[in-house]
Amino acid sequence: MNKPFILTAEGVTKSFDGFKAINDLNFYLDEGELRTIIGPNGAGKSTFLDLITGRTRPDEGQIEFKDTPVTKKSEYQIYRMGIGRKFQTPSVYSDHTVYENILLGLKGSRGVWSAIFGKVTPAQNERIFQVLETINLKDKAQVRAGALAHGQKQWLEIGMLIAQDPELMLVDEPAAGMTDEETARTGELLLSLAGKHTIIVSEHEMVFGRQLASKVTVLHQGSVLCEGSLDEIQNDERVIEVYLGRKKKHEAIHAEH
Ligand code: ADP
Ligand code: MG
């Protein structure tokens, strides 16, 4: 018997004002897998992650996490089932320190105040510093999160996700706005988490290149265009058309967004 998938999406459709942001999407993820979802801006990557985490409800179709449908569960219930998510735009608590942000990840987003003002156990303190070490922000522990550079905020939010320790991590465009060096470090960070977690990483271009060596799903107009290794998808005519075709229309698209 084949191992069951950790996550499946079948026939999922989601419209906004009649526009199908997700259109009959089918997606299957193995337990322990690191998967990259790429697609141009507007392909539906963030919407797909919103649907998995219960932030948005599908019009049609089913999403199951470990054989349990998530489509009728609340965001909090889905979080409790073991799905964690990093948003495309870092949503750290700017007025709190880096240390406190990781503490919040550790304790969950409920009870923010008890997390900040409650007692931190030695085990929690140790865990927080482990996470800070992983995301390379140990020397910034007492810095206000709002004062971090953009790339560091992205790492901090990944750190909050690590502290939360979800079985499935959804990481939406972690390299957006990063320098090449920061991107490479983010790739290393994701690789260090792979194996311990099942991970979906989205990106709008193949910024990590070969670094992640993961299976790639290309999303286009809310559907899976193709899936395979980086080599396979880079040589796929449809992918070339979507990316190069888009480049030609770059200005028009820029005006759109
Ligand atoms: P991606 O993350 O791949 O760039 P998104 O999932 O953000 O794509 O968006 C897919 C499409 O759905 C876009 O055309 C976007 O404008 C639209 N969309 C996403 N969220 C909403 C919303 N809440 N209301 C209306 N349109 C939306
Ligand atoms: Mg997005």
Residue 9, C-beta contacts closer than 8 angstroms, at least 6 positions apart:
25, 26, 27, 28, 48, 51, 52, 61, 62, 63, 64
143-170: string of b/e by CB count within 10 Å (b at 16+)? eebeebeebbbbbbbbbbbbbbebbbbb
Distance 236 CA to ligand 2 centre (A): 23
Order of all β-strands in the sheet with 5-16:
19-30, 5-16, 60-65, 68-69
Q: What is the pLDDT of residue 254?
A: 56
- Residue whose entry in the numeric block shows the structure tokens 């219930």: 77
Same domain, 85 and 15: yes
CATH classification at residue 218: 3.40.50.300
Distance CA 205, CA 67 (A): 31
pLDDT at 182 over 60: yes
Q: What is the pLDDT of residue 243?
A: 80
Q: What is the pLDDT of residue 208?
A: 86
Distance CA 28, CA 34 (A): 12
> What's the whole-number average pLDDT of the chain?
90
Average pLDDT over residues 176-203: 93
Tell the residue nearest (CA) to atom 16 of ligand 1: 42
The boundaries of the domain holding residue 113 are 93-147
Q: What is the pLDDT of residue 104?
A: 87
Same domain, 250 and 132: no
Average pLDDT over residues 202-230: 92
Distance 26 CA to ligand 1 centre (A): 18
Same domain, 125 and 210: no
Strands (E), the chain: 5-16, 19-30, 34-38, 60-65, 68-69, 83-86, 168-172, 198-203, 215-220, 223-228
pLDDT at 223 over 90: yes
Relative to the CA of 257, which ligand 1 atom is closest? 16
Distance 120 CA to ligand 2 centre (A): 35
- Residue whose entry in the numeric block shows the structure tokens 């470090």: 185
pLDDT at 152 over 80: yes
**Residue 156 counted as domain residue:** no
Ligand nearest the Cα atom of residue 89: 2
Residue 242 CB coordination number (10 Å): 21
Distance 45 CA to ligand 1 centre (A): 8
pLDDT at 112 over 70: no
pLDDT digits (tens, 9 = 90+) for 38-52: 999 999 999 999 999
**Residue 160 counted as domain residue:** no
Same domain, 192 and 68: yes
Residue 65 CB coordination number (10 Å): 21
Same domain, 170 and 81: yes
Average pLDDT over residues 89-118: 79
**Residue 53 counted as domain residue:** yes
Q: Which of 96-110, 146-160, 243-257 has the highest mean pLDDT?
A: 146-160
For residue 35, the one-letter residue type is R
Same domain, 34 and 129: no
Q: Which of 13, 16, 88 has most ligand 1 atoms within 8 Å of its beta carbon, as the pocket-test mutant?
A: 16
Q: What is the pLDDT of residue 209?
A: 79
Q: Which of 17, 47, 86 has most ligand 1 atoms within 8 Å of its beta carbon, as the pocket-test mutant?
A: 47
Tell the residue nearest (CA) to atom 21 of ligand 1: 16
**Residue 66 counted as domain residue:** yes
Work out the burial of residue 114: count CB atoms within 10 Å of its CB; fewer than 13 is exposed, 13-18 middle, 19 or more buried. exposed
How many folded domains does the chain comprise? 2
Q: What is the pLDDT of residue 253?
A: 47
Which residues have CB under 6 Å of ligand 1?
16, 21, 39, 41-47
Average pLDDT over residues 31-60: 96
Same domain, 122 and 18: no
